[in-house]
Chains A and B, each alone.
Chain A
Amino acid sequence: MKTFENENYYEILQVPANARADEIKQAYRDALAIYETESVATYSLFSEEQRERLLQAIETAFGTLINEDKRTAYNQMLMATGQVDAANFSRQGQRQLAAYSDTGSPSTEKSLSQWVLKKADTPKIRQLIEAILSQDQLSGLALKQLREAYGIELSEIYAITKISGDSLKRIEADQFEDLPAEVYLKQFLKSYADILHIDSRHVVDGYLKSMARDRAEKGAVRPRPLL
């Protein structure tokens, strides 16, 4: 059985040498989805020890490639030892790749949701979720913080929901004036909440309440028409 022994970090994660950070993240999640203990696809295929080593290799590869300094040093080593040609690191191929990954692979949603499920148990995420659930009103900032704590990019939300990055930014920034019509907004919030694995009804209600309050406040500032 072949292991990752003779593979470099790019080969382990199955990304090109000029992959962008979000592609590396995605590849890392895909790899975890295949090699983690609960994965059905590799159930009983590896011994515990083998699996441990494969996962370790994936962690090391990701830890290096996602850190800019470490990645640069690693690339230099690959070039110096003649393992990878310098041209492979060029940004030439990147734009094509970006266009390609925009279509979203069918596995994107699945592996993202597995990732979220896994991280949902960490103390930091739990704290953020509890904070959101304990409040009656919800600001976009809280959603943004939660998304960032998961390590999810706006482009990834877009790949699954097709909600444009601009709309998402406005939702997160509480720019209530520029939001889409309420029917759409509700739909957007629901999909977004589902990805973050947080009660979508609470998110929708809380956000709409905070929006209503904002309107009421702004309305109050405006001079009232005299009767």
Chain B
Amino acid sequence: MPKIYPIGGGKGGVGKSFVAASLGAMIAQHGKTVALLDLDLGASNLHTFLGMSAPKDGLNLFLNKTAQNLERVAVPTPVTNLFLISSSTCSMEIANLFYAQKIKLINAVKKLPFDYVLIDLGAGTNFNTLDFFLTSSKGIFVCTPEPTSIENAFRFIKAVYLRKIKQLIRQHDFDARVNAAILDTDSSAVKSQDLLDMVSKDDPEKASLLKAHIGRFQFKLILNQFRRSADTSLGNKIEAVCNRHFYSPFEFLGQVAFDERVIDSIYARKLYITAYPATITAMDLKQIAELLANPQPAPSLRQQAP
């Protein structure tokens, strides 16, 4: 099974696709095989960041059953060891994937014969995006240091959390009251913490089961488009506060500097890190790629005061 890193974050334009393309290329340069999976269904543009034109075929062939295996629709990129599974040729309706197709896709992703799979996700918190994010026990969320972006990132994390808790509650035999609460709510009405509190009161044993499950999910944070004026301790602060108030471990992977040449590289149809390998932005990305290519043991849930 490959190491799967879904890359999400709520807001559009924060740089999820840019980060996915750059990290994919850098991990491939470490000698690992990497598949980039573009699941920003209906708005895919990952190929552009790689300096490629839109592949003729991709995910569509897998979903319409022309291709038996998902790896068959992966195409090579200008970077050795790096492959792209594009959804640029999928019809617009694909954004509302059928449930059965979604499950089939998720299962196929887990069996991809690559060392790494990076999944580029779309903006927003629709169920498909959340379920793709939950394909793995580790997810990366990207945001910029602006309040609006952070707001969306927190909303995204809470939505992922709630989706996960709902999945778990469906899988395990829960109290009728809890079940009813899940079934007749949308994500805005019942918050994940309310659900957990509800379960905690009714059935402490089940609550600790839920906590144990979501405790296994690891969130990783990247702050992109970082400008000099921004608070350099922001990432660490978010990491600390999330570790303190959520039940899952959070790890701040690092910040990626803003660089106007990112746009230049897109116009020049070149992969940014190939065109500008010695910039601060490229160094920042390199550090993060190394963290992912040589993963450290999971961060402890919380640093307890001695």
Interface residues of A (CB under 8 A from B): 1-3, 10-11, 14-16, 33-34, 39-45, 93, 106-107, 110
Nearest B residue to A33 via CB reads B237
Contact A1 B305 (CB under 8 A): no
Q: In whole angstroms, what is the CA distance A107 to B246 when docked?
A: 23
Greatest chain A CB density within 10 A among B155, B233, B240 is at B233
Q: Please give, as numbers and ranges, the residues of chain A lying within 8 Å of B151 by CB-CB distance.
A: 43-44
Do A106 and B245 touch across chains, with their CB atoms under 8 A apart?
no
> Across the interface, which residues of B come within 8 angstroms of A107, CB to CB?
233
Is B233 within 8 A of A110, CB to CB? yes
A to B CB contacts below 8 Å, 15 in the list: A1-B196, A1-B245, A1-B246, A16-B306, A33-B237, A34-B240, A40-B231, A43-B150, A43-B154, A44-B150, A44-B151, A44-B154, A45-B154, A107-B233, A110-B231
Whether A40 pairs with B306 at a CB distance below 8 angstroms is no
Given the known A-B contacts A10-B305, A16-B305, A16-B306, are A41 and B237 also in contact in the complex, defined by CB atoms under 8 Å?
yes
Chain B residue nearest in CB terms to A45: B154
Which bracket fits the contact residues of B? Answer: 20 to 34
Q: Contact residues of B with A, CB < 8 Å? A: 145, 147, 150-151, 154-155, 191-193, 196, 231-234, 237-238, 240-241, 244-247, 305-306
Q: Most A CB atoms within 10 A — which of B151, B191, B240, B305? A: B305
Q: Could you tell me the distance between the alpha carbons of A19 and B147 in the complex, rounded to whole angstroms?
A: 34
Asked whether B238 lies within 8 Å of A41 as measured between CB atoms, the reply is yes
Q: Give bound CA distance, A10 to B306, whole Å.
A: 10
Q: How far is the CA of A39 from the CA of B241 in the complex (A)?
A: 12
Chain A interface mostly:
loop
CA A219 to CA B12, docked complex, whole Å: 71
Q: A142 vs B237: C-alpha distance in the bound complex, in angstroms?
A: 35
Task: Give the residues in chain A near B306, CB-CB below 8 Å.
Answer: 16, 93
Chain A nearest CB, measured from B240 CB (Å):
8
A12 to B257, CA, bound (A): 33
Distance of A10 Cα from B305 Cα, bound (Å): 8
Contacts A1-B196, A3-B245, A45-B154 supplied; 13 other A-B pairs, CB < 8 Å? A1-B191, A1-B193, A2-B244, A10-B305, A40-B231, A41-B234, A41-B237, A41-B241, A42-B241, A43-B151, A43-B154, A45-B241, A45-B245
Asked whether, in the complex, the Cβ of A2 is within 8 Å of the Cβ of B247, the reply is yes
CB distance from A113 to the nearest CB of B (A): 11
Give Cα distance in the complex from A177 to B107, angstroms: 79
Note all chain B residues with C-beta closer than 8 A to A93.
306
Contacts of A110 in B (CB 8 A): 231, 233
- Tell whether, in the assembled complex, residue A40 and residue B147 are in contact, meaning their CB atoms are under 8 Å apart: yes
Q: A11-B305, A40-B145 are in contact. Are A34 and B237 (CB under 8 A)?
A: yes
